[in-house]
Amino acid sequence: MHTTMAILNQKGGVGKTTTAVTLASGLARNGYHVLLIDLDTQGNVADSLGLPHSDDLRRLLSPDLRFPLEQVITSSGIDHLDVIRSDKSTTALKQTLAGVTMREYVLADALEGVPYDVILLDCAPSADLLHFAALVAADYLLIPTRLDKLAVNGVRDALQTLAALKRISRCQLAGILPTFYERVTLESHEQLIHLAQTFGKLVLPPIPQDTQCRVATRYGKTLWDYAPNARALNGYEQGNRRVGGYLQVLERVKEWL
Amino acid sequence: MNRNTKGLTSFEELPGVDPAVESLLGRGQRRQDEARLPRTERSRKKKERERAEKRKPNRINLDLPVDLKKRLEHLARKEGVPISQLVAFLLYEPVNQLESQAISLWGYKTASGCPKFECNLDLKRAHHDVARKS
Flag the least confident range among A43-52, A221-230, B51-60, B69-78: B51-60
Q: Which amino acid is at A56?
A: D
Kindly report the average pLDDT of chain A as a whole number: 91
ipTM of the complex: 0.76
Of A49, A47, A48, A67, the closest CA to residue A57 belongs to A67
Return the pLDDT at A240.
Answer: 67
DSSP secondary structure code for residue A12 in this structure: S
Would an 8 Å CB–CB cutoff place A71 in contact with chain B?
no
> What's the confidence (pLDDT) of residue A208?
95
The model's confidence at residue B119, banded by pLDDT at 50, 70 and 90, is confident
Hey, is B60 helix, strand or coil? coil
CB atoms within 10 A of CB B84: 13
Residues of B in contact with A236 (CB under 8 A): 24
SS3 B93: helix
Dihedral angle sign, alpha carbons of residues A20, A21, A23, A28: positive
Element housing A242 (H / E): strand A241-243
- B 42-81 residues with CB below 8 A of A? 52-53, 55-57
Could you tell me the fold of the domain covering A3-256?
Rossmann fold (3.40.50)
B4 has pLDDT over 70: no
Q: What percent of chain A has pLDDT over 90?
A: 63
Contact B62, B84 (CB under 8 A): no
pLDDT level of residue B106 (50, 70, 90 thresholds): confident
Which residues of chain A are within 8 Å of residue B7 when distances are taken between CB atoms?
A: 197
Over residues A33-56, mean pLDDT: 94
Ramachandran area for residue B14 (φ above 0: left; ψ -120 to 50: alpha; else beta): beta
Residue B30 contacts A where some CB pair is shorter than 8 Å: no
| Contact call for A252 and B18, based on CB within 8 A | yes
Please list, residue by residue across A205-214, b when 16 or more beta carbons sit within 10 angstroms of its beta carbon and e when fewer do: bbbbbbebbe
| Predicted pLDDT of residue B35 | 79
With a cut of 60, say whether residue A116 has pLDDT above it: yes
DSSP state, residue A3: E
* pLDDT given for residue B100 in this prediction: 92
Half-sphere exposure (CA, 13 Å, Cβ side) for A230? Answer: 23
Q: How far apart are CA A183 and CA B24, in angstroms?
A: 8
Tell me, yes or no, if B26 comes closer than 8 A to chain A by beta carbon: no
Q: What are phi and psi of A144, to 5 degrees?
A: -75, 145
Question: How far apart are alpha carbons B21 and B129 in whole angstroms?
Answer: 52
Interface contact flag, A205 B15, Cβ < 8 Å: no
In chain A, where are the structural domains located? 3-256
Average pLDDT over residues A135-161: 89
Mean pLDDT of chain B: 78
> Which of A184, A193, A256 best tests the B interface by mutation, with the highest count of B CBs <10 A?
A193
Kindly state the DSSP code that residue A185 receives in the 8-state scheme.
-
Q: How many CA atoms lie within 13 A of A131 on its CB side?
A: 20
Q: A75 forms bridges with which residues in the sheet?
A: A82
Report the 10 Å Cβ neighbour count for A232.
26
Q: Does B7 touch chain A (CB under 8 A)?
A: yes
Lowest mean pLDDT among A102-116, A203-217, B101-115: B101-115
Mean pLDDT of A44-62: 93
Q: Least CA distance to A235: which residue of chain B?
A: B20
Q: Global pTM?
A: 0.72
| DSSP for residue B63 | -
